[in-house]
Structure 1
Amino acid sequence: MSYVIRSVRADEWPAAKELRLAALQDPVAPLAFLETYEEAVERPDSYWRERTAKGAEGADGAQTVVAEAPDGRWVGTVTVLLEEPGTTDWAGFPVERKQGHLVGVFVRPEERGSGLTDVLFDAAVEWAWAHGAERVRLIVHEDNGRAQRFYRKVGFEPTGVVVPLGSAPGESELEFALERA
């Protein structure tokens, strides 16, 4: 199948909302996302407008990339956030150099295994490199073996950084990173 891989536009928030809600209903969502479907579905449209605009085409600090099927339906997404040196990340760790941080990775179940996630990652990483990132990282739940295998396959390696999950005592997430060649 042929997909269009592109950045979202700010006015596409209804499609972004629909895809996020689908992601949060996936069986592995509790391992993959820090937000629940129940939390997300209650958010007002203003939240979805702002969220989409922050990662839309032309935004400086983030970019949301989607895969669009020939029928126009969104079938996958990933967002890359730029993190600047001298700041702290969402978990309170210091950011030592400019880096991209991949979040919100999701491909609809019927599209998995098609190579689509590879293409989405390529686009997100390329955007980060074009915006001066020295490395790209992501955080993955320690029990999400399928995701960890995929991240290794596309060149990401564990860094040894472990992030305790505040929402789930005793559970952790692991940092994986891809260094700029």
Structure 2
Amino acid sequence: MRVEGWRSAYRDLLPAAYLAALSVAEDTEVRREHLARAGEEVVHLVAERDGEVVGWAAFGPDRSPGAGPGDGELYALYARPDVVGTGVGRALTDEVAARAAARGCARLSLWVLEGNALGRRFYAKAGFVPDGACEPWEVGGTTLAELRYVRTL
């Protein structure tokens, strides 16, 4: 799901050769290793329809310098390309916000590519706003700008 999500969401932002070279098997192994060492601070959620996983989200403590104990971060949000626009992403985002608040988070942040207009609109509708932070992100030989969005819980 993550690889197909990247290929769909970033098709106009990243080099086609880079996206085509992404390996589901390699990404699966990386995700397994990450899950094994994530600990209790990182929460992973999945959305299912008819017994099939159609979405995934992960959140935990904000990794930004200067973040406080009441700051959480949405690390990942993916929906299968065929279910984008059906409410899967919104349901995951709402559940992340509810669980982060229950853990004592007062604020939730995320990073989104500046050129990802669909993602930026989605996050804005979910109550996130850009806070002015911008960081370069190098991937596939391309440097892109990531913007930080925040939401008060």
- TM-score of the aligned structures, taking structure 1 as reference length: 0.69
After the TM superposition, which parts of structure 1 deviate over 4 Å for at least 4 consecutive aligned residues? Answer: 29-32
Is 1:174 matched with 2:147?
Answer: yes
AA matched with 1:52: L
| Aligned partners of 1:80 and 1:100 also within 8 Å | yes
Residue 138 (structure 2) pairs with residue 159 (structure 1): no
Is 1:77 the equivalent of 2:56? yes
Q: Distance in 2 between matches of 1:146 and 1:100?
A: 23
CA distances 1:90-135 after superposition (whole Å, capped 9, x unpaired): xxx4133132211221112221221221110011111211222121
Q: Which runs of 5+ in 1 are unaligned?
A: 1-18, 84-88
Kindly state the Cα deviation for residue 24 of structure 1 after the two structures are TM-superposed.
3.4
Partner of 2:84: 112
Amino acid at match of 1:152: A
Q: Which amino acid aligns with 2:26?
A: R
Q: Secondary structure at the match of 2:100?
A: helix
Higher relative contact order, chain-length normalized (CA < 8 Å, sep 6+)? 2
Q: Check if 1:96 corresponds to 2:67.
A: yes
Question: What is the aligned-residue RMSD (CA, Å)?
Answer: 2.7
Q: Is the 8 A contact 2:44 2:59 kept in 1?
A: yes
**Given the two structures, how large is their TM-score scaled by the length of structure 2?**
0.80
The answer (yes or no) to whether the contact 1:24–1:37 under 8 Å persists in 2 is: no
Residue matched to 1:49: 32
1:16 paired residue number: none
Worse overlay, 141-150 or 108-117? 108-117
Q: Which has the higher strand share?
A: 2
Cα deviation for residue 29 of structure 1 reads: 5.9
The total of aligned residue pairs comes to: 147
Say which SS state the counterpart of residue 91 (structure 2) adopts: helix
